[in-house]
Each structure stands twice: as structure tokens, then as C-alpha cells.
């Protein structure tokens, strides 16, 4: 059989990516692209129609994810992806809204929004890429940078205590909390699919290499070396106490699904409370009316993809 006759298997990834924007802007050895690959496979597995998915990012290397995914996508301001997504989700509750951003964006400048989003249990899927640094701006220290790490703004080594993200997310109220690394592509894809299915605010931390700006300065070698380190140091422990999940350089990295509980979402609570106080005077809230949507009026419900 000649090459021309060979059937080329369909690449599911391409269908979900803005291929006209390739090549992407991430460095060689960066883990973000790997997570995007897992993400689009999880979307496909979830069977959620692509036009009912919106991806919202903040600013930074991970902030660029929104621009590469072929769904409705929003590249917002630094740290504010969660409140933007909150407004979008409340206007369009039928959509699955994913917040895909980095540790600097979600945990430092956006930390307040993360804890309040989790407290409210807004139905958002938070994917937090943790590469321990501000990569887009050149490798500065952040609230996830482990003490002792060298960065451009901590040239003599950092000393501030870093956040333990699963513990922060759980104590703020997230209903699903997991951590994987970009080495664990199978588990990661499964975890993303679980998030997409789960109702309420889910928080998935993904440890990824940044060889250019973090690894290089902190003796982690190349991206491949860091992946080998993830393989060797990761310990899967589902249901682990998130208090124990702090990342300490040179020590094991706890991964797995730590939290998976159920509690009413913001909208569940809203509808229940208003109904109890207003009775018949309260029309159940199902999002903003689409009366002004011309496509709805003309009955052209779904645009062919």
C-alpha cells in the first residue's frame, strides 16, 4: 500500500484548535501545550457540544490558551478571569464555562476572586497551570514560588512561604480539587473530564515545567528532565488531606483527586432562596432571556460547526 492510500487517522486535537493561529507561542519544553492537548480530548470525551463551551483566560503564558481553542473564548484582564466567567455563566447557565489560567494570574492578583468564586460555588471549571513563576514577564517570584528558588525578583533566593493550592481551594469551598502534572496525561485528561461533568466550582492544579525561566535557574535542567522528575517524585494519593499537599523542592509531589463533594451551586441557592421568600412572584432564574437574539427569533437554533 502506498503512502497516498494510507488512511490518516483523524486528529481530534486539530478540530478543537485554531489551527490558523499555529505555531503557538509557548517555549520548547513548556507544559502548557500538553495540558491543552489533554483538555480538548476531555471536551471530546465529555460529549458537550462545542458551541456550549466557553474558555476564559486571564493574562500570562497560560492566559493565551483561550486564543488557541476553537470555542467562544475570552482573554480578559490580569487576575479577573473568574469574575468575568461568573458574569458569563450567570447570563448563560446552559454553557460550560472553563477558566484556564496560570498561578500568577489566579493565585496572586486574582486570589481574592478565586476564594470568593469557590465560596459561592459558581459552576466554573478552574484549570490552574502552576509553573511556579511569572513566565510571560520573564521569571519573577510569585505566591507559588517555593522558598529558596531563584527568580529575577528574588536573585538571592525567595524566602516567603508559598500557597498550597489544593488546601486553599478546598478551604475556600471548591467541590472538586485535584492535582496532576503534565507528565500524567492520561490521569489529567480523565480529571478534566470529571471537572467538566461535575456541578459547582472545580479546581484542578497542573504542575508544569517552565524550563526557560524557572527550570534553568533552579537546576531542573530541560523540560524533559523536569518531566522525569515529575515521574519519579509524584505519589498518587486520592482523597489525601490537602493540608499535606504542599510542594517542597526535593520532596515527593502529592497528586490525585483530593476532594469530590456535593453542595448547592450559587444558582441552586439563588433559586431556592428567592422561591422561598417570593413564592409565585419569583420566576425561576434560567439565565438572561434570549428574546433579543436574532438567531433565536428566526429559529436558526444551532449554527453548523
Partner 1 sequence: MKADPAGVLTGAHFIDGDHACCEGALAAGCRFSAGYPITPSTEVVERIAARFPHVGGMFIQMEDELAASIAILGAAWGGAKVLTVTSGPGFSLMMEHIGFAAMTETPCVFVDVQRAGPSTGLPTLPAQADMMQVRWGSHGDYGIIALSPNSPQECFNLTIEAFNLAETYRVPTFLMMDESVGHMTERVVIPAADEIEVVPRRYTSKPSGEYLPYEPEEDLVPAMVPVGRGYNVHVTGLTHDERGYPVMNAAAQDRLIRRLVDKIRKNARRIARYEESRIEGADVVVVSYGITSRVAMEGIRLARENGIKVGILRLVVVWPFPGWRIAELSGQIKAFVVPELNMGQMVLEVERYAAGRAKTHCVPHAGGTVHDPKEIATVIEEAVK
5 versus 304: smaller Cβ distance to partner 1: 304
For residue 257, give the H/E element and its range: strand 253-260
**Nearest Cα to 134, choosing from 108, 115, 111?**
108
Residues 6 or more apart whose Cβ sits within 8 Å of residue 226: 29, 209, 211, 215, 220
Tell me the C-alpha distance between 98 and 118, whole Å.
14
Cell of 234: 509524584
Closest approach of partner 1 to the CB of residue 169, in Å: 16
Instruction: Quote the CA–CA distance of 70 and 54 in Å, as a whole number.
Output: 9
Q: Would you state the cell numbers that stand for residue 190, as one nine-digit string?
A: 480523565
The verdict on 278 binding partner 1 (CB under 8 A) reads yes
Number of H helices, E strands in the chain: 11, 8
Among 36, 42, 85, 195, contact with partner 1 (rule: CB under 8 A): 85
Is 61 in a helix, a strand, or coil? Answer: coil
Residues in contact with partner 1, shown as a per-residue x/- string from 181 to 220 under the rule CB under 8 A: ----------------------------------------
Among 83, 102, 104, 158, binds partner 1 (CB under 8 A): 83
Among residues 15, 44, 48, 72, which is the contact residue for partner 1, using CB under 8 A?
72
Residues 287, 94: Cα–Cα separation, whole Å: 8
Task: Output the DSSP codes for 109-164.
Answer: ITHHHHHHHHHHT-SEEEEEEE-SSBTTTTSB--TTSPTT--BTTBTT---SPPP-
Please report whether residue 24 would count as binding partner 1 according to CB under 8 A.
Answer: no
Write out the binding residues for partner 1, residues 101-120 only, by CB under 8 A. 112-113, 116
- To partner 1, the closest distance from the beta carbon of 76 in angstroms equals 7
Are 149 and 161 within 8 A, CB to CB?
Answer: no
Contact flag: residue 13 with partner 1 (CB under 8 A)? no
**Binding-site size, partner 1 (CB under 8 A):** 56
Grid cell 450567570 — which residue? 90
Nearest approach in angstroms of CB 269 to partner 1 is 12
List the one residue out of 115, 114, 117, 140 whose CA is nearest residue 60: 140
Among residues 71, 131, 151, 212, the one that binds partner 1 under rule CB under 8 A? 71
Q: For cell 493540608, what's the residue?
A: 243
Q: Which of residues 86 and 218 has its CB atom nearest to partner 1 in the complex?
A: 86
Residue 163 CB, nearest approach to partner 1 (Å): 18
- What is the smallest separation between the CB atom of 99 and partner 1, expressed in angstroms? 11
Binding segment toward partner 1, per CB under 8 A, in 4-12, 142-150, 180-188, 285-293: 285-293
Q: Is 87 in the site for partner 1 (CB under 8 A)?
A: yes
Contact set for partner 1, span 36-65 (CB under 8 A) = 50-52, 54, 56
Nearer to partner 1, 45 or 78 (CB): 78
Note whether 264 binds partner 1 by CB under 8 A: no
Cα 133 to Cα 30, 110, 112, 125: the distances in Å are 12, 15, 19, 22
Determine if 66 is a binding residue for partner 1 (CB under 8 A). Answer: yes
Residue 126 makes contact with partner 1 by CB under 8 A: no
Peptide bond into 23 cis (omega under 30): yes
- Residues at the site binding partner 1, with contacts judged by CB under 8 A: 18, 21, 50-52, 54, 56, 66-67, 70-77, 79-80, 82-92, 94-95, 112-113, 116, 270, 274, 278, 281-283, 285, 287-296, 302-305
Amino acid at each position: 500500500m502506498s503512502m497516498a492510500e494510507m488512511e490518516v487517522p483523524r486528529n481530534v486535537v486539530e478540530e478543537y484548535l485554531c489551527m490558523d493561529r499555529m505555531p503557538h507561542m509557548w517555549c520548547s519544553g513548556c507544559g502548557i501545550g500538553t495540558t491543552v492537548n489533554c483538555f480538548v480530548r476531555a471536551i471530546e470525551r465529555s460529549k458537550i457540544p462545542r458551541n456550549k463551551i466557553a474558555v476564559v483566560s486571564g493574562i500570562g503564558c497560560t492566559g493565551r490558551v483561550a486564543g488557541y481553542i476553537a470555542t467562544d473564548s475570552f482573554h480578559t484582564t490580569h487576575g479577573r478571569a473568574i469574575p468575568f466567567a461568573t458574569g458569563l455563566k450567570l447570563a448563560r447557565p446552559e454553557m460550560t464555562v472553563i477558566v484556564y489560567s496560570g498561578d500568577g494570574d489566579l493565585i496572586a492578583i486574582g486570589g481574592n476572586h478565586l476564594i470568593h468564586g469557590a465560596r459561592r460555588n459558581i459552576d466554573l471549571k478552574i484549570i490552574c497551570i502552576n509553573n511556579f513563576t511569572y513566565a510571560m514577564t520573564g521569571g519573577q517570584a510569585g505566591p507559588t514560588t517555593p522558598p529558596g528558588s531563584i527568580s529575577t525578583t528574588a536573585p538571592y533566593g525567595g524566602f516567603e512561604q508559598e500557597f498550597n493550592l489544593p488546601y486553599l481551594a478546598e478551604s475556600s469551598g471548591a467541590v472538586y480539587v485535584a492535582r496532576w502534572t503534565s507528565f500524567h496525561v492520561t490521569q489529567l485528561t480523565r480529571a478534566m473530564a470529571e471537572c467538566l461533568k461535575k456541578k459547582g466550582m472545580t479546581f484542578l492544579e497542573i504542575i508544569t515545567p517552565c524550563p526557560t525561566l524557572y527550570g534553568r535557574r533552579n537546576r531542573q535542567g530541560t523540560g524533559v528532565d523536569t518531566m522525569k522528575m515529575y515521574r519519579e517524585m509524584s505519589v498518587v494519593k486520592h482523597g489525601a488531606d490537602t493540608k499535606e499537599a504542599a510542594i517542597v523542592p526535593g520532596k515527593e509531589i502529592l497528586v490525585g483527586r483530593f476532594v469530590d463533594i456535593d453542595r448547592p451551586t450559587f444558582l441552586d441557592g439563588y433559586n431556592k432562596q428567592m422561591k422561598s421568600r417570593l413564592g409565585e412572584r419569583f420566576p425561576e432564574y434560567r439565565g438572561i432571556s434570549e428574546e433579543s437574539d436574532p438567531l433565536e427569533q428566526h429559529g436558526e437554533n444551532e449554527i453548523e460547526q
